[in-house]
Amino acid sequence: MNRRSLETEIGEVTLRNPVLLASGPAGYGLEYEGLVDLERIGGVVTKTISFESREGNPGKRLHETGGGLLNSIGLENVGAEVFFSEKIPALVDAGIKPVVSLAAEDWENYRMLLDATAGTDGVDIIELNLSCPNVERGGMAVGTNPELLAKYVRHAKDTLPGMTVLAKLTPNVGDIAALALAAEEAGADGITAINTVIGMDIDLAAGRPVFKRIRAGLSGPAIMPIALDAVWRISRTVDIPVVGVGGITSVEDAMKFFMAGAAAIQVGTAVFYDPVLPEKIIEALEETGMPGPLGDCNRMKGAG
Amino acid sequence: MKSLFTGRIIRTQRLSPSSHLVVFERPRGFPEVAPGQFVALRITSTITPLLRRPFSIMDLTGTELHLLVKVVGKGSDILAHSPCGAEMDIAGPLGGTAFPSPGKKDAVFVAGGTGLAPMIFAARTWKRDRSLGRAALVYGAGCEEELLVSLCEEDFAAVHLATIDGSCGFEGDAVALLEKLVEEGKAGGGMLYSCGPAGMVRAMERKAAAGFARHLTSLESVMACGVGACRGCTVPVKTDGGTVLRTICGDGTVFDASEIDWERWEE
Ligand SMILES: Cc1cc2nc3c(=O)[nH]c(=O)nc-3n(C[C@H](O)[C@H](O)[C@H](O)COP(=O)(O)OP(=O)(O)OC[C@H]3O[C@@H](n4cnc5c(N)ncnc54)[C@H](O)[C@@H]3O)c2cc1C
Ligand SMILES: Cc1cc2nc3c(=O)[nH]c(=O)nc-3n(C[C@H](O)[C@H](O)[C@H](O)COP(=O)(O)O)c2cc1C
Ligand code: FES
């Protein structure tokens, strides 16, 4: 059978296919050696890094819910220096395409992080995590304010000429499409949607919240309709590519994201239990091709 | 090297009201493993339960993979009651460290609950390769019904039992029993291996462990990736420069118990 080429252009970058591992679950990539054929994947979005290393949140960090997973990792990461000197070269040597996820902490740290990113061999696409719900400062604050978000995106484009910049958005806002538009106007090459949905749970026996920080980020199939809706609305608002993420657990789910307007997709939580899902999606796309977008379907528009 | 396998259940046995032996046919190509390593099972092909469930390897022979499964929720319930012939997706072997062999020295193994599984595997492995001196098991459970005595009778030279309600053996937990044995001069000096609830291991490290050359423990935590990627199962470990977080699934499961920063570890 003739296998279709799945090459996907985002900004200045051509990915070998539009199926990526999502930031966080993917770790620094190589942890999955033996379980995931990492060279086959369109790209690995590495764990969000901050300029300084971070220890993350104390106490319990994971909790399964109905069809979902709450996490309170708190952006634990090795920091820019170790990341760019050790993790990236190892990925590149292994033939794996890195998409580097950067934290938008306070302005000073963000600027230093971009400076550290500049000139790293093998990095031509970054994803700005403007949306982490698990940290005190930065992240969500930047990602929920269109002016701040635009400022951060613009600075990345100015500091890193030729770099393809994705802006990753949080669904924990009133109008995610407005934020996507602000990112596009500031020069973003693509939008990634969505990060986790804020949620909480209570340990009945202990009589207290499950997590120390009480609120945590929900991922997995429970959030897929929210993610699909976000992708659909964003792709009708902006002209830049949209990378869909949130709750994809099957080939069919992935197809729905492409139909809703995604140019590429990411798999996060599902990799934990089905590490070969990204490869299954790639195979299906090679066989059947990318499903066409829905177009301006009235039935869908009228919903709600 | 870890990989994905399809495992077929060939035998299950109810050992107590809540604990079951689940025996898989050893999947083709499943590598040799070391005591303290584990597998992560995809219990169903649906999304409930969502995450894989981790289980210690209790034995691996040329043809069989043994797990000890205590029913505590949905995943363990489905696994324990799966029919013979059922197939399950197994990721493994996982865990970056394993129990170091006692090098012919005497060893005391302390197990709380299903922590028995890796203790049995260690004793069996080292007996097979003749690297174990005298092996004693100190094993505690809630009550007599939950003590899986038949499982461990043959693997240890001595078995010391404890139950919280005093229905069998020493009344109290495994830690109190260990302390008593050390005080009476009946245990100590050699290697100390443990697996069980964090509270148990912490209490051992505070007192009884001082009587041994080294205390090595296999830790547990809720897990998602099982391979050190998601940072969901971290434990604080003391180093020269302070405390660093290590993953139980990737950097463990086995740690030198004296290196864990017990004050800071909240599960
Ligand atoms: C490395 C490792 C080795 C293990 N080895 C064994 C073993 O040999 N035999 C065995 O019976 N169990 C073992 N466990 C524990 C086992 O993984 C859990 O009991 C199981 O995942 C619970 O799943 P469930 O769906 O039945 O329960 P759930 O419905 O998910 O949870 C029920 C209760 O169990 C608790 N729980 C959930 N996951 C864990 C966990 N990973 N560790 C401890 N408590 C948990 C929950 O907090 C909850 O209170 C091991 C865990 C780890 C991390
Ligand atoms: C354990 C865990 C850690 C995560 N860490 C990050 C992170 O560091 N940066 C980020 O942008 N998103 C992070 N995410 C969010 C995912 O990238 C993704 O947006 C979200 O989980 C929804 O996709 P999913 O349902 O496929 O997991 C994390 C998610 C999980 C479950
Ligand atoms: S479970 Fe993901 S790091 Fe241990």
- pLDDT by residue (tens digit) across A216-246? 999 999 999 999 999 999 999 999 999 999 9
Model pLDDT, residue A135: 55
Q: What is the residue type of A38?
A: L
State the distance from the centre of ligand 3 to the C-alpha of A157, rounded, in angstroms: 34
Pocket test for ligand 3, best of B39, B225, B235 (most atoms within 8 A of CB): B225
- Select the residue from B45, B47, B52 to test the A interface by mutation, using most A Cβ atoms within 10 A: B47
Which range, A54-58, A111-115, A133-137, A138-142, has the best average confidence (pLDDT)? A111-115
Tokens of B98: 């394993």
For chain B, positions 154-213, list CB contacts with chain A under 8 A: none
d(CA B98, CA B114): 17
Chain A residues 247-276 with CB within 8 Å of chain B: 249, 269, 271-276
Most distant CA pair in chain A: distance in Å? 59
**At A300, is the pLDDT very low, low, confident or very high (cuts 50, 70, 90)?**
very low
Mutate-to-test residue for ligand 1 from B56, B67, B76, B253, highest number of ligand atoms within 8 A of CB = B76
Confidence bin at A134 (pLDDT 50/70/90): low
Q: Count other Cβ atoms within 10 Å, centred on residue B87.
A: 14
pTM strictly above 0.90: yes
Task: Please judge whether A67 and B48 are an interchain contact, meaning their C-beta atoms are less than 8 angstroms apart.
Answer: yes
Distance between CA atoms of residues B262 and B267, nearest Å: 10
Whether A150 is in the pocket of ligand 2, judged by its Cβ within 6 Å, is no
Predicted confidence pLDDT, tens digits, chain B (267 residues): 999 999 999 999 999 999 999 999 999 999 999 999 999 999 999 999 999 999 999 999 999 999 999 999 999 999 999 999 999 999 999 999 999 999 888 999 999 988 999 999 999 999 988 888 889 999 999 999 999 998 888 899 999 999 999 999 999 999 999 999 999 988 888 999 999 988 999 999 988 888 899 999 999 999 999 999 999 999 999 998 889 999 999 999 999 999 999 988 876
Mean pLDDT of A252-272: 97
Q: Is A234 helix (H, G, I), strand (E, B) or coil?
A: helix
Q: What is the pLDDT of residue A220?
A: 98
What is residue A100's predicted lDDT score, i.e. its pLDDT?
98
A156-163 long-range contacts (CB < 8 A, ≥24 apart) are A156/A102, A156/A114, A156/A126, A156/A128, A157/A186, A157/A187, A157/A188, A159/A111, A159/A114, A159/A115, A159/A118, A160/A114, A160/A117, A160/A118, A160/A126, A162/A12, A162/A124, A163/A12, A163/A117, A163/A123, A163/A124, A163/A125, A163/A126
CA A29 centroid distance within chain: 14
Among the listed residues A49, A130, A132, A234, the single catalytic one is: A132
Q: Tell me the best of A75, A196, A223 to mutate to test the pocket of ligand 2, counting ligand atoms within 8 Å of each CB and taking the most.
A: A196
Report the alpha-carbon distance of residue B246 to residue B225 in Å, rounded.
14
- Structure confidence by residue, pLDDT tens digits, A162-197: 999 999 999 999 999 999 999 999 999 999 999 999
**Best CA proximity match to A247, nearest among A267, A276, A272:** A267
pLDDT attached to residue A226: 98
pLDDT band for position A4 (cuts 50, 70, 90):
confident
Quick one: pLDDT at residue A303? 44
- Between CA B58 and CA B218 the distance in angstroms is 13
Please write the tens of the pLDDT for every residue from A279-293: 999 999 999 988 888
Does the beta carbon of A62 lie under 8 angstroms from any beta carbon of chain B?
yes
Q: Dmax of chain B from CA atoms?
A: 53
- The distance of Cα A105 from the centroid of its chain, to the nearest Å, equals 17
Rounded Cα distance, B247 and B253, in Å: 8
Residue A51 clears pLDDT 70, i.e. is over it: yes
CA-to-CA separations, A127 to A86, A193, A219, A260, in angstroms, rounded:
19, 11, 18, 21
pLDDT at A118 over 90: yes
Is B91 close to A269, i.e. CB distance below 8 A? no
Q: What is the mean pLDDT of chain A?
A: 92
Inter-chain residue contact B229 with A58, CB threshold 8 Å: no
- Among B19, B52, B38, B16, which Cα is nearest to B253's? B38
Q: What percent of chain A has pLDDT over 90?
A: 83
> Is B228 within 8 Å of chain A by CB?
yes
pLDDT at B44: 94
Residue A298 has pLDDT above 50, yes or no: no
Among residues B71, B73, B57, the alpha carbon closest in space to that of A64 is found at B73
Confidence at residue A2, expressed as pLDDT on a 0 to 100 scale: 63
Reading the block at residue B161, the tokens are: 């039992």
- CB of B38 sitting under 6 A from ligand 1: yes
Q: B234 contacts in A (CB within 8 Å)?
A: 56, 61, 76
Residue A297: active-site member: no
Distance CA B266, CA B198 (A): 9
Does position A18 have pLDDT exceeding 80, yes or no? Answer: yes
Q: Are B25 and B85 within 8 A, CB to CB? A: no
| Residues A132-144: b if buried by 16+ CB within 10 A, e if exposed | bbbbeebbbbbbb
Report the pLDDT averaged over residues A81-106: 94
Residues of A in contact with B228 (CB under 8 A): 27, 31
Chain A residue whose CA is closest to B233: A61
